[in-house]
Amino acid sequence: MIPTPNLSHLTSADYDSVYEPAEDTYLLLDALEQDAEHLRELHATVCLEVGSGSGCVSSFLGSILGSTALYLCTDINPHACICSFRTGLQNKTFLDVVNTTFAGPFHHRLKNAIDVILFNPPYVPTDREEALNAQSKRYVEGSWAGGKDGMDITDRFLDVVKELLSPRGLFYLVALKQNDIPNIQRRMQDKFGLSSQTVLHRRAGSEHLFILRFQRTS
């Protein structure tokens, strides 16, 4: 088994401001571990995590792929950026962290160049105003408040994924059953030519979580 990243440097005060790894985080780690050989065969050079929070997921990916890849992380929360960077150092993976929305400055500079994209979005259904408010404050609530059907933020990123993903690239998305997963998969196939598979799914309390993996249709 691949060890879970060491987060002992993060304190309860950090978790007051940053999303603490939970069932959705660990399900994504399990999916990456299950796909470890497939990921290594990519010989990835550029990886991107959108909304890196504690930095746990990118550090875990780094333990799979090693030091030859560039690990880019973005987060709208300034404190999350600090935590991500520190977690990378704690786990001997250098994370290049940028405080920005979505893919920010990478959108045009790295067009069709990112081999692995990771996104655990704010997927919890809330009213739209709550989601917009959480995003504008750039605080911890922005990591879970997802607006109508939990898809307000996810929808915006799904529209740019194909432009970022390399020809061989893999995109991992965390989703909730209420997000209408068949519709997400159909839309990405029909609109962008990205086929998908459910890598893992798991019930966590009242939530039914899924990890979807997208890639360009052969």
List CB contacts of 96: < 8 A, sequence separation 6 or more.
Answer: 70, 71, 72, 73
Whether residue 18 lies inside any domain: the answer is no
Cα–Cα nearest to 17, from 139, 135, 126, 117: 139
Percent of the chain with pLDDT over 70: 96
In this prediction, residue 134 has a pLDDT band, given cuts at 50, 70 and 90, of: confident
DSSP-derived letter for residue 193 is: -
150-166 confidence digits (pLDDT tens): 888 899 999 999 999 99
28-68 confidence digits (pLDDT tens): 999 999 999 999 999 999 999 999 999 999 999 999 999 99
Would you say residue 180 has pLDDT above 90? yes
Whether residue 131 lies inside any domain: the answer is yes
Which CATH number characterizes residue 121's domain?
Answer: 3.40.50.150
Segments forming the whole domain that contains residue 83: 24-216
Whether residue 5 lies inside any domain: the answer is no
Residue corresponding to tokens 């750039």: 138
- Give the total number of structural domains in the chain: 1
